[in-house]
Every structure is written in C-alpha cells, then in structure tokens.
Amino acid sequence: MNPSLPAASPAELLARPGVLAVVRPRPDAVAEPFVVLLDDGRAIGLNGHVDLGTGIRTSLTQIVAEELDLALSSVSMVLGDTLWAPDQGYTTASETIQVTAIPLRRAAAQARGWLVGKAASLLGVSAEELEVLDGTISPRTGDGGSCTYAELIAGETIVLDLDDSFPLKDPAAYSIVGKSTRRVDIPGKVTGQWTFVHDVRLDGMLHGRVIRPPYGGRDSGAFIGRSLLRVDESSIAHMPDVKLVVIHDFVGVVAAREEDAEAAARALSVVWADFTPLPDLASPVEAVRANPSTPRILKDTGGVDEALASAAFRRSHTYVWPWHMHGSIGPCCSVAAFDAAGSLTVWSGTQTQHMLRNDLAILLDVAPDNIEIVRLETAGSYGRSGMDDVGADAALLARAVGAPVRVQLSRDQEHAWEPKGAAQLMDVDGGIDADGNLVAYDFATRYPSNMAPMLALLLTRKVDPVAGSGPIGDRNAEPPYDYENMRVVCHDQAPVVRAAFLRGVSAMPNAFAHESFIDEMAEAAGVDPVEYRARNISDPRARDLIRQTAERAGWVPKIAPGKEMIAPDVARGRGFAYSTYLHGPFPGKAAAAAAWVVDVEVNKTSGEVAVTKVVVAQDSGMVINPAGVRHQIEGNVFQSVSRVLMEQVAFNEVAVTSRDWSTYPILKFPEAPVVEAHLVPRPNDPPLGAGESASVPSAAAIVNAVYDATGVRFRELPLTPERVRTGLLEQNGSAPPFARKMKAGAPWLAAAGGLIAAAFTMLSPIKPAIAPIAFEGAGVFTSETIERGRLVAAAGNCVGCHTDGASAPNAGGHALRTPFGNVYSTNITPDVETGIGAWSYPAFERAMRQGISRDGRHLYPAFPYTAFARMTDGDLQALYAYLMSQPAVKSKVPETRLAFPMNVRPLMAGWNAMFHKAEVFTPDPARSERWNRGAYLVEGAGHCAACHSPRNALGAEATGARHLTGGIVDGWDAPALGAYSPSPIPWTEEAYYQYLRTGASAQHGATAGPMLAVVDELSALPDGDIRAMAHYLASRSPSGLSEAATTRRADALTMLGRAQLVPIDNVGARIFDGACAVCHANDNLDMFGGQVSLPLSSTVHSERPDNLIRTILNGVHDPAKGTRGAMPSFARQFSDEQLAELVTFVRKTQAAGKPAWRDVPGAIRRIRTERPR
C-alpha cells in the first residue's frame, strides 16, 4: 500500500513548509520528487516502477533507508501512482533495481548530504565529523549536541534538483542493503489488513461485470468489435435494478450488489455473429510457421553455410514452445470513478500506468491530465496482464451509470482473455568439427508479437483491430557459446493470439534451444556438458557461475546418458543449463545470470516426469535483500518447472479453451521440488535485475535431465505424460499404444422414446364443469388446518412443479418435459381468473383424485393424481385450505399443446380407465404404524413413483415389480429405489433418512437436479415422517447387511475409487484433479462438510451419463438453503471435448466394474443443445 502524503498534489507538497524533497525538474510540468522527507520524521521514496508481488517495495525501502541512515520503519515507498510517482516507463524486464532505483538512491544520498551540511553549520563542526543514526545527526565524538532530520526540516521548504553525480555511500559501509530483510508488506497481507486493488471500496460504489465476445483470446481480425448481433434485455427484466451497457462488442451490467451483477451477467442473453476463424491453433508449429513474418538478421559472422557443410557432426532441430498463461491467482479487478468536473480516477493493479492513462484518454475522449491512476498491489502477474483492460471496463461502466464502479473479471474471462505468453519456434542447424570445436550455428527464431492493445479500445471500435508486429523475439537470440561461424535471425511477426510480456519473454524459448543443443554437441564431442560449456564460453563471470553451480550440486561429469533405473518403471536423470537473461532490444542488457542442476524422475510407463530437486546459483551482482532474491529465485524455479512440465494454452478453432485451473493445470504443493538457491557473492558489482533470470535455463535443464534418464531428447514442450510416452515409444520404434480414440458407438436412443401410435377406445363421456364459487377467504380455515396443509404441500413438493424459475411460488408455468411435449403446470394460487380461486373443495378433490379440472377438462397424468388419489380426505381438505390461503397471484400460464393422441384431452378418460385406480390408501394391518405412515407418504402425497417409476408408451407409471424401478424427469434419471438401484451400496434405512432429511448420504452422495427441490420441501416435515418414509423404502428391499457392514463396504469402494485417480496421465485425469478432486477425491481431510464420494454415487453408476453431465454443467445450487454445500457449474469452463474426457474418466475410474458409457459426446451435445424451458 502506498503511504499517504500531506498534500493533494506534488505541486502542493513542494510548496508546503516542513518538507525536504529531491526532484527532477521537468520542462512545462511540476518537478518529479524522488525522495521526500517530512517534519514528522518520515521519509518517502517515490518510484515509477511498481511491486508486482516480488518484494521490490522492501528492496527500494532498504536502498532509501541505507543512503539516508534511517531505520527501515521510518521509510516508505510510493510506487506507480501517476499523480505522485515519476514516469519511469513500464515495470518490465526486471529493471527496477538495476535501472529505476538509480535516481532514487542518488536522491536519498543527496538529501542526507544537505541535512548533514545544515547540521554541520548549526552544530559548528565540519560535516566529516558528523555521523547519522536513524535520522539523528551528531558528532562522532559523542559530544557537542545533536539534531534530527525532522528538526532540520521543520518550517522549511527545501526542494533540491537531483544531482546525478552526487556521491553515494560506500557499499563497504552498508548495514541495511545486502542484509536479509523481512518483507514490509507481509504482516498486512497475512492478517487481512493489506489493501489490494480488489479491496478498494468507495461510497456509492456499484459492482460491474462484463460479458465478453466468443472469440476469447483474440484481438486481431475483421470480426473484432463487430460480432454483436443483439442483446435481449428481457432476459434480465426480472432484475429491475440492473443497468445494461452496450457499446458494439462491449457488453456490461452494473448492480448494487455483486451477486446481482454476477447473476445478471449469467442471465443476459447475448447473440453473437459467427465469424471466420483463424487457422487451427492447436498446433503452434503450423500456426507460427504459417504466420507471415519479416526476417531480421541479428548476427552473421564467418561463413555459416560452408562451416555447416564441412562439420564433422551436424544436427538440425526445431524446438517448439507453446502459449503460456500468466495465470494470476487473482483475476483482474479495477475501480473507476468520475468526479463532478469529469475527471477520472482509476484504482488499478497495472504495471503500465502511463499507457493505461493514455489509452483511457483515447477510449473516453478525456485529456490524460484529467485521469489519475492510483496504483495498488494485486495478485502476481509475472508480466503484463489484463489489468488495463479491466480498468477500461470499469471506466466505461462508471461513465454510463454515473457512479463509481468496481469490475471483477471471472476466472474464465481471465484465462481466456489475459494476453498470453507467446508461442515460439526455434530452428537450429549447427555442428562441431572432428576435434569437438563449435564451428557452426544457424539459428532462426519465430515469435508472434505481443503488443495486446487495450481490449475496450477494440471492442468499442475506438481503434482498428490491426495486428501489429514488434521486435520482441530477439531476447537471448544469440547463444552464449563461441561458435566460430554464426547466423542469428529473428522472424518478426504479428500476433496469432492476444499476447503480452510474460516472464523471460522470448529469452526462455531461445535459451531452451541453445542449451538443449549445446548438450547434444557436448555428447558428440565426448565431453561432459558442464565442462563443454565452460570451455566454450568466453565470459569469465559466466564460466565461474557454471563451475560454481556444478560444484554446489555435486555434479558428476558424464559423457553419455546414465539411464539410471531406480524402480522397475522409473528412471532418474540429472541435467544442466545456464543463461544470462538479456532484456531490452538486441543485443540486450544483461540482467542476473543463472545456472541450474536439476534432478528428474521419469516414469517410463505412464510418462510422468517429476522434478525432484533443483540447485540454482545466480549471479545478481550486488544483492539488496538476499532473502528477497532467494525467494525470487525459488519462485522462478517453481513457476518455470510448472510451465515446462505442464503448461500449454489449449484452443479450438475459435478461442482459448483453457478456462479454469483444471484445463490449465499448474504445479501444486505435492509436486513442488526441493530447491537450493545460491547467491554468488558480488557485493562490489552493480546490482542486476533478479526478477526473471532463474527461469531462463529451466526448460533446457529439465529436458537435458530427461535425456540423461531416458536417452530421449524432447524438443517440444510441455513434457506431458502423453508426449513423454510417445517420445519413449518412438525411440523404441513402435506405435504409441496410448493414442486414444473415442470409439464410435451406436447413437444412444433416448429412453423416453418417440410417440408410439396407440389406438385405444374412447369410452368415457366428457366430464361436467363444477360451478365456480365466490371464495370467502382463508379466514374460514383454522390455522391448524392450514399448517397441516402446508406440510402436505411440502410432502408433495407442489411448489417444485407449480413454480417457474424465479416467478412467484405456485403460480405455475413450469414446463414438464414429456415424450408428448411440454406440459405446463397450472397456477394453484387462489387467483380467481388464472388460478384456483374459483374452485370449490369438491372441484379441488375431483382434480386431485380423478385428474379432472374444475371446468371438466382432463388433466394430464404429469400431474400425479394417480398418487394423490390415495390421500385421505383430511389431508386433501387441509391442502385445499393451505392453497386457498396463499397470496393470490395473477399469472396466466402457457397452454399445454401435446402431440396426438394426447392432444385430445377426452382421450384421457380412456387412459384413466386403463391406468388409474382412484382409491384412498388402505393401511396394511400386518405392518407397523410407521411402515404404513411411510407407505402413505411415499405412495400418496409424496408421489415418488411419478419420477422414480418407468412409464409406458402412454405415459402411465409401471406397477407391480417395476414400481419404483427408475424413471426420467426433466431429462434427469430418477434412479431406481430398492433392489434395482444403480448404487453399489444397498440403501439402508439410515441412508434413506439422511438423504431425505439433509440431501446427502455419506454412502450415496448428494441430491442434484429436480430432487433438490423435493428435499427442500421435505424439510418442513417432522422427523417422524421422514423416518417413516425411510423405513418404508428400506423395507421394500432389505439388503441383509448391517449398517456396519454397509459402511465397511462403502469405505472400501471409496478407497478403490481414490486409487484409480492416479496416474494423472490424460486429459480427463487432469481435469478431475484440477476441478473435482478438491471435493471428490476423498483426500481433503480438513474440508467443511466432508467429501462426496463418487464411487458410491448413483450418478456415476447409472446406465446413462446424463445425470453426471447435467450435474457438471448445472452445478448443484440450492438457492433456498445452503446446508448441503454447493457445486459450481462448469458449463463455461469445459468444451464438449473436455467434458467428454472428464465424464469418460469418471465412469472408468469411479464406477467400479461398470461398462463404459456409450456415446458420451453425443449425450453432451444433446444436453447442451436442449432448448431452455
């Protein structure tokens, strides 16, 4: 957090008494302060670069405190605010300490010099005789008085122009710089007291969400900004407080509450045009090679072609780097507010605050001077993220609604739209002579550019979506080794997808090629790869680093891969790589240099690669905060191991399809290697940027180690198990048996089938209407009767079918899907015109028992009067009383129009004659009272069979042995209850009870789909009723197993399912691991609410995949209550292909012994394309 300053602007501050400031004068503008000392004893440093979560704030604080001889706690830093901090360009290329801290340090030294000078004249001694201790100046001798900085500044206004030659403190005298220092921000961050940009709250602030176009991750092409066809405002008409903002392809919603903004963004119906997709992006090699490019020759010395032709050993390879994500843990967020005069303030986590300001000026037609960017810290982004995009989103929405707006991007928006780290293609042709000398190196690198314009500028058509090409691919393009003849070419090209700087930009891929290739040359020369590097590098500092690193790691020289087997399937290997990160345009400026020794283990069967240990040494010159640099090295190691082993952005032909952490997995704690970070002591050399260097050697070190383990060189990343298996098998000359193809199965026939033309005789005459009544009001019923009716209604879940979405309870209109068409439920509120307000009790009873409406029309048995007929008079009367005492809601429901023969309502009379017995439930005297109560509830008001029994071709529930053997409702399988249950564990009475009472049973999982509402309603019933239902249901198919034996069996199945989750060597397994395992792997032992064990769930044991697919797509939401936890919807995260992989994996691993589901992709397509009801 930036400290507060005692003025509204720098101009005001520099005119205020009690201030000493060192500034850089600016023509036509207020001078830029670098260091400000205040009469309250505080010192404030100002820097144009920001802290991206790496601890730069602490290091800069150390530098200022050191030069000023102040305690750390007296110094604070203002970073990045456009109003206050100097414009020092983008925070990039690890330049903060190496470059932007130079004037800061100088300013601090100069302030100290002025203060000591003034003290000298006051105390009457020479400046040389004085020393400073935490801002107190006194003679070294200890006598003669003293004064403090604050006293010297009091009442004065001292503004010094920065003197770039002012002498600095001798590093030998440092007491703060070079010492490990605790991070100044961490106490606040670990106690919730730190203000991230996400935590900004303003008075009257509203919450905004954006709805992005379908071309997620693209920012060039004619369709950009021109794809919106229409927005259907009626889709959010039920949310009257939500404001909608549409500007071409920019669509946003604003609401007072965050959950309302989210709900509106989900509900809003937006129709986008189709557009011509770019080439298939699934293979970066083709996409990048096909992308038009301009060759830029960076180096051409000697005669490369001749040297190649005469090389004794020559190899030509292509190295492939995939698109990566920054993968910030916090999706971008920003707050924007306009004041009355039209000036805009944006609270942002940007690292390019001046570019953001200028882009906002273009977007909004506001002068840059009227825009202030307040910079706050955010989640780490490791390069330019979508922060500027979301700042613009917030500004557009704030302008539209005339209030401050906070916009938070969703995870899928962050994943899809963050400007990616670009893919890269490196071609190497090189060789050695017969003596092992490096004679030729012909290197060509192809890098699609990364300028990523602010998204809102494109979406609102303020700028044209023309892909620009930038010269960014040349970082570390030249190898560090002394090839006698060398050609280095960078093929500059426009972006293929939206991209921006990501840690080690273009240097990591280029070094991957150089450092892999040198290993190969070393082996050909018969020299140890460490020794070969040292022998062929002319920079002595680099040679020193290479040797030191190998020594620290206990490197054992080798001239061939060791292929050490440590288990029947597992090989171990060790690899080396070195790089000096070069930032800025070619040939670049050297930042810190780093070298890796890495140990890997390769499972040759599964293809999994584990990085077990990394020893890194880094030469960063003078180190400001050793602990900070060590942490930064470790951070680089973990992140780059993740990138090399696991990461690649997936695309379909239109857009990014990696939209969550399961489709873009990153390294997790269990896989984190042991890291040893060593700092080469160089206290007398200038400090070098340490932010990214340790990432650069990562990829080559790892592939070199995999080579040592297996004898196979990998030149394309990431090293997924699939790629490694294929590589190992290709080496063995056989086709990969793991190549997976979805078997083409027979199309799944919908169980509900089509309409079978059935002729049956129409016998019954049309029924008479029962005269309407003028209802006298609910006062005629006793409250006891109404309460009893409420429970009957709950047992029957009337509201579940008689309510449509968010409309009023029991007002009808909910569509029940049947093979004959949709049946719309009726309004059962006491509205006279559209509900049952004119219904007498006899009319109501006739409907409930015979399925005949008051007006004489036959009702369809989707209304389960076949069950309700069993209810007692007392219950029906109470139900009538309850329904008639609800608020009347005027709501006309859609007319039900079914296919023949069901469209002929009188035919239902014949149906009733065949399938309906209107008889009240008769208790079985041989059974207990509890059993009879349970049977009455299950078979009567509860009408369980309406969903859980199959229906015949005419829609009648099966009876006899097929009663309660499973049905289909709203496309969900209602599983069989009892002997035919798909559950692998018999349902016990206790399990039924838990399930009906709480919505979840430890042995069977949780409710989803239509059953959620049933359990909700049942919560009104007394425990005795639920126990009775459980007793009755369990009695229908006694398992013969004790509760304890059932629990043991369940535990065994759960363990078995858990064991099937490894190895994580395919897409489905990865998605499960990233998205499902947290709640379903049964290994998250500290989790509130426990885990839902899939091996016990009917959903995965069912004959059809429908319930699983629906659960994943819809999630499990229980808006009325939350007791059962919740499962998020993954509809926006998973493509059809990803979902099919996941569903197939779950069935294969969690449904022990069950056959694979047939045509999962077909079921997914069918369910995804269902028309909304």
Partner 1 sequence: MTPRTGPLRLTVNGATHQLAVCSGALLLHVLRNDLQLNGPKYGCGLAQCGACTVLIDGKTARSCILPVGGLEGCEIVTLEGLGTLEQPHPVQAAFIAESATQCGYCVNGIILAATALLRRIPDPSDNDIRQALKYNLCRCGSHNEVLIAIRAAARAMTSHMPVVE
Residue 836 structure tokens: 């049952």
Of the pair 985, 1012, the CB lying nearest partner 1 is at 1012
Instruction: Quote the least distance from Cβ 668 to partner 1, whole Å.
Output: 6
Per-residue DSSP letter, 200: -
Of the pair 87, 1083, the CB lying nearest partner 1 is at 1083
3-state secondary structure 281-304: CCCHHHHHHHCCEEEEEEEEECCH
Instruction: Quote the least distance from Cβ 1157 to partner 1, whole Å.
Output: 24
Report 358-387 residues binding partner 1 (CB under 8 A): 377-380, 382
Alpha carbons within 13 angstroms on the beta-carbon side of residue 694 total 30
Return d(Cα 445, Cα 319) in angstroms, integer.
9
Instruction: Quote the least distance from Cβ 1121 to partner 1, whole Å.
Output: 5
Of the pair 366, 1013, the CB lying nearest partner 1 is at 1013
Tell whether residue 44 is a contact of partner 1 (CB under 8 A). no
Binding pattern to partner 1, positions 608-647, x when CB under 8 A?
A: -------------------xx--xx-xxxxxx--------
Tell whether residue 458 is a contact of partner 1 (CB under 8 A). no
Of the pair 396, 1013, the CB lying nearest partner 1 is at 1013
Q: Are 533 and 578 in contact (CB under 8 A)?
A: yes
Q: Are 45 and 26 in contact (CB under 8 A)?
A: no
Instruction: Quote the least distance from Cβ 725 to partner 1, whole Å.
Output: 24
Who contacts 834 (Cβ-Cβ below 8 Å, separation ≥6)? 827, 889, 890, 891, 892, 893
Residue type, 792: V
Q: Are 549 and 617 in contact (CB under 8 A)?
A: yes
Tell whether residue 864 is a contact of partner 1 (CB under 8 A). no
* Helix 626-646 / helix 698-710 crossing angle, nearest 10 deg: 60
Beta-bridged to residue 20, according to DSSP, are 37, 158
Of the pair 668, 892, the CB lying nearest partner 1 is at 668
Residue 929: closest CA among 1040, 793, 1039, 1031: 1031
Return d(Cα 466, Cα 220) in angstroms, integer.
6
Q: Are 595 and 581 in contact (CB under 8 A)?
A: no
Per-residue DSSP letter, 705: H
Residue of 562, 856, 1125, 1162 interacting with partner 1 (CB under 8 A): 1125
Per-residue DSSP letter, 275: -
Report 1050-1069 residues binding partner 1 (CB under 8 A): none
Instruction: Quote the least distance from Cβ 914 to partner 1, whole Å.
Output: 35
Q: Report in angstroms the alpha-carbon separations of 210 from 253, 364, 413, 850.
A: 6, 17, 9, 52
Report 397-416 residues binding partner 1 (CB under 8 A): 408, 410-411
DSSP sequence for 793-806: HHHHTHHHHSB-TT
Of the pair 207, 487, the CB lying nearest partner 1 is at 207
Binding pattern to partner 1, positions 1073-1092, x when CB under 8 A?
A: -xx-xxx---xxxxxxx---
Q: Are 252 and 211 in contact (CB under 8 A)?
A: yes
Tell whether residue 185 is a contact of partner 1 (CB under 8 A). yes
Residue 187 structure tokens: 């106490």
CA 27, distance to chain mean position in Å, is 46
Beta-carbon count within 10 A of 103 CB: 22
Instruction: Quote the least distance from Cβ 510 to partner 1, whole Å.
Output: 22
Residue of 134, 151, 199, 787 interacting with partner 1 (CB under 8 A): 199
Of the pair 307, 333, the CB lying nearest partner 1 is at 333
Per-residue DSSP letter, 950: -
Of the pair 504, 635, the CB lying nearest partner 1 is at 635
Of the pair 184, 937, the CB lying nearest partner 1 is at 184
Residue 787: closest CA among 882, 884, 880, 874: 882
Report 12-31 residues binding partner 1 (CB under 8 A): none
Residue with tokens 């379909």: 652
Residue of 672, 750, 956, 958 interacting with partner 1 (CB under 8 A): 672
Tell whether residue 503 is a contact of partner 1 (CB under 8 A). no
Of the pair 571, 1112, the CB lying nearest partner 1 is at 1112
Report 794-853 residues binding partner 1 (CB under 8 A): 799-800, 803, 806, 808-809
DSSP sequence for 574-588: EEEEEEEEEESSTT-
Piece in contact with partner 1 (CB under 8 A), picked from 570-578, 698-706, 1025-1033, 1114-1122: 1114-1122
Piece in contact with partner 1 (CB under 8 A), picked from 327-335, 362-370, 846-854, 899-907: 327-335
Report 203-222 residues binding partner 1 (CB under 8 A): 207
Instruction: Quote the least distance from Cβ 38 to partner 1, whole Å.
Output: 23
Report 924-963 residues binding partner 1 (CB under 8 A): none
Piece in contact with partner 1 (CB under 8 A), picked from 532-540, 556-564, 662-670, 1053-1061: 662-670
Tell whether residue 327 is a contact of partner 1 (CB under 8 A). yes
Name the phi and psi angles at 981, rounded to 5.
-55, 135
Report 48-67 residues binding partner 1 (CB under 8 A): 52-55
Tell whether residue 329 is a contact of partner 1 (CB under 8 A). yes
Per-residue DSSP letter, 1108: H
Report 705-734 residues binding partner 1 (CB under 8 A): none
Per-residue DSSP letter, 368: G
Tell whether residue 186 is a contact of partner 1 (CB under 8 A). yes
Cis amide prior to 901 (ω within 30 degrees): yes
Piece in contact with partner 1 (CB under 8 A), picked from 241-249, 421-429, 874-882, 1070-1078: 1070-1078
Report 509-568 residues binding partner 1 (CB under 8 A): none
Query: By rule CB under 8 A, what count of residues binds partner 1?
Result: 92
Terminal Cα-to-Cα distance of the chain (whole angstroms): 50
